Amino acid sequence: MNPSFSTTINGQNQEVQVKSNQTLLEFLRDDLKLKGAVEGCSVGVCGSCTVLIDGKPVSSCLTLASNIEGHEVTTIEGLSQNGDLDPVQQAFLKHQAFQCGYCTTGMIMAVKGLFNAHPHPTEEQARDYLSGNLCRCGTYKEVLAAVAELANE
């Protein structure tokens, strides 16, 4: 029988039912229709599927959906408040820290996790935190510029 339990997704407490072998990425995209986290490598290498669990970034392709019982999951869809983009999203826009955008939702969620752990991160901390997020368009310099601006606020 598929597990059902209570969890919080983007601030909404809800009862969910997941398949026992379903990844969190599959559950978010297929069942909840939250398409922001995207599949790149499927093996925990690229970071495009990054979401937050209890404020910490995880690769949702490697996380079983059944593991979110009692936890708080945040996806890119949960960042804007009352129609206003999150400051990280605004900084990405300002610094044009994306090209094709495929990695961008995962990158933004990883940056959110960075600031949750380090409110004023150094560049070294930022590089370390983002080392699991790959961008084939090579926007690393712009991403670090967005992070640096936020770190100095």
Q: How far is CA 46 from CA 34, 70, 99, 145, in A?
A: 19, 27, 16, 21
Q: In the bound complex, what is the minimum distance in angstroms from residue 126's beta carbon to ligand FES?
A: 16
Which residue stretch of 45-53, 63-71, 72-80, 121-129 sits at the interface with ligand FES (rule: CB under 6 A)?
45-53
Q: How far is CA 116 from CA 55, 90, 139, 149, in A?
A: 7, 17, 22, 16
Q: In the bound complex, what is the minimum distance in angstroms from residue 97's beta carbon to ligand FES?
A: 8
Which residue stretch of 10-18, 69-77, 95-103, 113-121 sits at the interface with ligand FES (rule: CB under 6 A)?
95-103
| Sole binder of ligand FES in the list 8, 44, 77, 87 (CB under 6 A) | 44
- 145 CB burial (10 A radius; 0-12, 13-18, 19+): middle
Give yes or no for residue 137 binding ligand FES (CB under 6 A). Answer: yes
| Sole binder of ligand FES in the list 40, 57, 78, 121 (CB under 6 A) | 40
Give yes or no for residue 99 binding ligand FES (CB under 6 A). Answer: yes
| Residue 45 burial (CB count, 10 A) | 13
| Pick 27 or 98: Cβ nearer ligand FES | 98
Task: Please report, to the nearest 10 degrees, the dihedral formed by the alpha carbons of residues 106, 25, 14, 80 taken in order.
Answer: 20
Give yes or no for residue 135 binding ligand FES (CB under 6 A). Answer: yes
By CB under 6 A, name the binding residues for ligand FES: 39-42, 44-49, 59, 61, 98-104, 135-137, 139
